[in-house]
Amino acid sequence: MAKKKEYTCVLVETDGEGITWITFNRPEKRNAMSPTLHVEMEEILFGLETDEDTKVIVLTGAGNSWSAGMDLKQYFRETDKDPVGRFRAATAHRRWATELLTWSRKPSIAMVNGYCYGGAFVSLAACDIVIAAENATFGLSEVNWGIIPGGNVSKVFGDMVSYRNALFYAMTGRTIDGRKAVELGIATLSVPAEKLREETVAIARELMAKSPMVLAYTKQAIRAVRGMDMDQAYEYLGAKSMALRAADPEQTRARGMREFLDEKKFRPGLEPLKRPVSEK
Ligand code: COA
């Protein structure tokens, strides 16, 4: 069912297919993230988690920017003397990005249409897949502002790129285009700007063809083991596998094995499992 809701700083549209488009909607401020934007995003993502019409979440920006990072005026300068306001905004950002979106059961795609600076890297890291326009511009500009990449930007950036590149780009503030972002590990793939939406929809459809439960467990497993040592990861993945077998309403594992081993009508290395029509 198609749905549309406009907030002060964000536009949310769910198409009839299952893609929910979340658009940072402050193009005149290059979609800089204000305290209001963070509070709205927290509410939106909390709601989408249980929204049956949302199968994939796409995060993009209005105009020529994905997000120019934290709003230097509203988030930083205006809250310098308002610790309560700063706490509320910082907590909302942490919740929507590093909790709700990072751990969402729904797959997420960042469709990066333009500028992506500073604090926007935390939002970017929260998305599972990053599709960038070749002419998008990424950068850690903090060094030019007299600040460090705080608010976990240094952490998520250092997790995406090599140690050497983390130091280089944080210390120089040099910008990175979409192609280079793929090379560095910031983006999953880059495409010409005019193909950005088409490619995003194609990948969203590919994801929607999978079992939602298997997809949710897969992304959570990949994310969770990053912070574990070998032994912890073995234990965790063993338990997570058993949990999936118990929880999967489609019993994808049993059906996949039956169709490959017994019925010889499915080859998982060559084609996606055909899900029951009623479950799509
Ligand atoms: N915080 C607050 N306002 C911002 C902003 C930010 N992070 N980024 C852009 N804006 C505002 C500008 O102040 C300007 O407002 P105004 O119209 O009231 O003057 C408006 O957005 C347009 O910005 P402008 O610089 O004219 O646009 P541009 O297209 O020429 O350049 C950027 C776009 C993103 C390259 C440039 O705005 C920029 O460098 N922004 C800062 C990015 C940054 O350092 N982010 C990290 C913060 S930690």
pLDDT band at 272 (very low <50, low <70, confident <90, very high): confident
Indicate which residue's Cα is closest to atom 44 of ligand 1.
141
Q: Do 52 and 149 lie in a common domain?
A: yes
pLDDT at 279 over 70: no
Does 230 map to a domain? yes
DSSP state of 140: -
pLDDT at 277: 58
89 and 182 within one domain: yes
- Ligand 1 centroid from CA 76, angstroms: 14
For the cut 60, the answer to whether the pLDDT of residue 4 exceeds it is yes
Q: Give domain status of residue 273, yes or no.
A: no
Residue 272 lies in a domain: no
* Phi, then psi, of 41 in degrees rounded to 5: -60, -40
Query: Residue 148: what pLDDT?
Result: 96
Both 253 and 199 in one domain: the answer is no
Could you tell me which of 101, 166, 151 has the C-alpha nearest to residue 128?
A: 101
Instruction: Record the pTM.
Output: 0.96
User: Percent of the chain scored above 70 by pLDDT?
Assistant: 98
Is position 278 within any domain? no
Q: Are residues 136 and 224 in the same domain?
A: no
The verdict on residue 268 lying in a domain is no
Nearest CA to ligand 1 atom 38: 68
The per-residue pLDDT for range 225-259, each reduced to its tens digit, is 999 999 999 999 999 999 999 999 989 999 999 99
CA neighbours within 13 Å on the CB side: how many for 129? 21
Split at pLDDT 50, 70, 90, the class of 268 is confident
Averaged pLDDT of the chain = 95
Residue 275 lies in a domain: no
What are the structure tokens assigned to 34, written together? 């204000």
Residue 185 structure tokens: 């590990």
Higher pLDDT, 279 or 171: 171
- The DSSP bridge partners found for residue 133 are 191
Q: Is residue 46 part of a domain?
A: yes
> What ligand 1 atom has the least distance to the C-alpha of 144?
44
Q: Assess whether 103 and 157 both reside in one domain.
A: yes
Tokens matching residue 240: 């997570």
- Percent of the chain scoring above 90 in pLDDT: 92
pLDDT digits 0-9 by tens, 103-114: 999 999 999 999
Do 235 and 204 fall into the same domain?
Answer: no
Q: Which residues line ligand 1 (CB under 6 A)?
A: 29-30, 32, 68-73, 115, 117-119, 141-142, 145
59 in the same domain as 13: yes
For 70, which DSSP code? B
- pLDDT above 90: residue 3: yes
Q: Does one domain contain both 82 and 38? A: yes
| Ligand 1 center to 142 CA (angstroms) | 13
- Residue 237 sits in the same domain as residue 256: yes
Query: Which residue segment(s) compose the domain that 33 sits in?
Result: 3-208
Q: 62-86, pLDDT tens digit by residue?
A: 999 999 999 999 999 999 999 999 9
